[in-house]
Structure 1
Amino acid sequence: MTIEPDFLDELARFDAALNRESTALRQGDQRSPRIGEGLTFSDYRRYSPGDDTRLIDWKLFARTEEYFIKQYEAERSLTVHVLVDASASMDFGDGDAHKFEAAARLGLGVAYLTAEENNQFQFGTFRERADRLDAARSNRGELFALIDQLNELSPDGEADFERALADYAGRIGSRSLVVLLSDCLTDPEEIATGVAALARKDVDVLLVQVVAPDERDPPAVGDALFADPESEETRRSYFSGSLAERYRERLDAHVDTVSNRVTELGADHVVVDTGTEFFDAFASVWLQ
């Protein structure tokens, strides 16, 4: 792992840019629709000029062709829990597109801006269980310590969504947002069971599914040996154009199934291509 702390300074500029944009649109401090403005959906109201456009429900617009704003119950004090999948399948991708590194950077970014919003964060990884890494300080020094820990961590083993998330749910004792970052390469029903354990009246869940470019479009051509990094099972196949197309269709279907199952539970789901420029990827998570 080669996470450099410099990107935290870039995040500060990112946050400042959001504040400038907000000032141009409306009075008051900029807040993420989730962090700082409450997590519990209350009602809809029609969009009025000057409203924060990021609060528009675009899915509702697609159905009605009218602009509606999501309203949330006011809640200024919350804890944001960041959990990064550290299983072996996350040890994939080159450079900045490495899945675990990309997920860790996104999670650190969420933690950083959470602290900037004067909220508390907790940061951990999960495999068969969830392990908390932070020391409950929720400040910049804490983030530097987390970067050091993450740089020393090597993804391995298997992720057990059901066990790890059910166990973690028992540790949450206050109003919270849980941000899960994973490649979700397991049975969607197991993911849904884990998310269901977390999701309750006072807990919101955002599942960030990371996909590496070489995962979407494997560079293999012809006779190739594929290996499962978690089970170490291998399979030889002739990776032709038609097989590659079927592979992409199955991957897309898996992503859709994961999305459908967790959104049915009231959670949110966003897919991040790890080959995307970091701040574009981060914006898709922070503004979700």
Structure 2
Amino acid sequence: MTIEPDFLDELGRFDAALNRQTTSLRQGDQQSPRVGEGLTFSDYRRYSPGDDTRLIDWKLFARTEEYFIKQYEEERSLTVHLLVDTSASMDYGEDETHKFEYAAKLALGFAYLTAEENNDFRYGTFLDRVNRIDTGRSNRGELLALIDQLNEVEPAGSADFESALEGYAQRIRSRSLVVVFSDYLADPEVVESGVAALARNDVDVLLVRVVAPTERDPGVVGDVLFADPESDRTRRSYFSGSLAETYQSRLDAHIDSVSNRVTALGADHVLVDTGADYFDSFASVWLK
């Protein structure tokens, strides 16, 4: 792995203050629609006996001769959980198009801007369970330490989305956003089950699917030996125009199946081409 920390500084050009409500949960200054004593004015209501008289708007009383209470939106902190797939299929792509490296950098971008907004992040890798690799500091020093750890990762094995996400859902104790970075090369029903476990825990979920350019279009013709990195199985095929079309159709169908299943659960799904400029991809995911 060759993730360099310089890219973090360039993320400063993205405006992290998205000012969205917690119910749609994206990063930045999150505000809850629940009314309470907070810092952001929401609305007025008429005074009722027993209300705190300190909340009466005396200027409004001077104009109307009626008592009104100020209501506020309760500001809430947000914990962003960033989970990156380390299965063997993520060890694909050359240089900057490498799927694991690209996904890890996207997750680091989320962590960076989350920390800039004084929210907490959690960073983990997973196969059949999530291995949390941060220490809970949510600062730049933490990010640099994470880069060092990620550069040592060698993707291997097979991901079990159901076990990993169900297990992690039990560890979440606060209102959260969980962002899962993977190629999702698994049974769509298994991915759906894992996301359902998170959604049941009152968690907002964003799935980021990384696809390398040569996965969408292998660009090969003739007698080709294909290898499954997670099972070591191989298959020799004559890869011609018709077979290429069938392959692409099946890949698109799989992408659509995963997307449709998780969006039905209230999650978001974003497809990212690792051949695209990193910052363009990051913006499309962050602003989703």
Same fold (TM over 0.5): yes
Q: Which residue of 2 aligns with 1:219?
A: 219
Q: Sort the Cα spacing of 1:234 and 1:75 in 2 relative to 1 into closer, same or farther, 3 A.
A: farther
Classify 1:39/1:237 alpha carbon distance in 2 versus 1 (closer, same or farther; 3 Å). farther
Which residue is 1:117 aligned to? 117
Amino acid at match of 2:137: R
Equivalent residues of 2:213, 2:274 under 8 A apart:
yes
Report the Cα distance in structure 1 between the residues aligned to 2:181 and 2:276, rounded to whole angstroms. 16
Q: Distance in 2 between matches of 1:2 and 1:78?
A: 30
The match for 1:234 is 234
Query: Taking every aligned residue pair, what percent have the same amino acid on both sides?
Result: 69
Whole-angstrom CA distance in 2 between matches of 1:233 and 1:143: 37
Deviation (angstroms), 1:137: 0.2
Aligned residue in 2 for 1:195: 195
Could you tell me how far 1:31 is from its partner in structure 2? 3.9
Matching residue's letter, 2:287: L
How many angstroms apart in 1 are the aligned matches of 2:114 and 2:31? 14
Instruction: Give 1:65-80 correspondences, 5 Å limit.
Output: 75-80=75-80
- Quick one: which amino acid aligns to residue 219 of structure 1? G
Displacement after TM superposition at 1:250 (Å): 0.7
Return the letter of the residue paired with 1:178: V
Could you tell me how far apart the structure 2 residues matched to 1:237 and 1:276 are? 29
**Residues 221-270 of structure 1: CA deviation (Å, up to 9, x unaligned):** 10000001001111110000111011111111110110000000010000
TM-score in terms of structure 2 length: 0.82
Deviation at 1:128, TM superposition (A): 1.3
Match of 2:193, SS state, is helix
Q: How many residues align?
A: 246
Contact 1:227 1:235 in 2 (8 A): yes
1:171-182 → structure 2 map (5 Å cutoff): 171-182=171-182
Aligned twin of 1:64: none
Give CA-to-partner distance per residue, 1:119-171, whole Å, 9 cap, x none.
Answer: 00000000011100000000000000000000000000000001011110111
- 2:162 counterpart of 1:162: yes
Alpha-carbon offset, residue 202 of structure 1: 3.1
Stretches of 4+ aligned residues off by more than 6 angstroms = 39-42
Matched, 1:36 2:28: yes
Q: 1:257-284: CA deviations, max 9, x gaps?
A: 1000000001000000000000000001
Where do 5+ consecutive residues of structure 1 fail to align? 20-28, 43-72
**Structure 1 length normalisation: TM-score?**
0.82
For residues 38 and 10 of structure 1, what CA distance do their matches in structure 2 show?
A: 23
CA distance in 2, matches of 1:260, 1:249: 16
Q: Structure 1 residue 198: deviation in Å?
A: 0.6
**CA contact under 8 A between 2:183 and 2:210: conserved in structure 1?**
yes
Residues 206-285 of structure 1: matches in 2 within 5 Å? 206-285=206-285
Higher mean alpha-carbon deviation, 138-147 vs 199-208, is at: 199-208
Q: Per-residue displacement from partner, 1:156-211 (whole Å, max 9, x unpaired)?
A: 00000010111101110001000000000000000000001111363100000000
Q: Which has more radius of gyration?
A: 2
Contact kept? 2:31, 2:76, Cα under 8 Å: no
Structure 1 pair 280–41 and aligned structure 2 pair: CA distance change class (3 A):
farther
Cα contact 2:80–2:177 (8 A) shared by 1: yes
Backbone CA RMSD of aligned residues: 1.8
Letter in 1 for 2:273: D
Q: CA deviation at 1:40?
A: 7.6
Q: What letter matches 1:117 in structure 2? A: E
Contact map agreement 2:272 2:281 (CA 8 A) in 1: yes
Q: Which amino acid in 2 is paired with 1:112?
A: Y
Any stretches of 5+ residues in structure 2 without a counterpart? 35-72
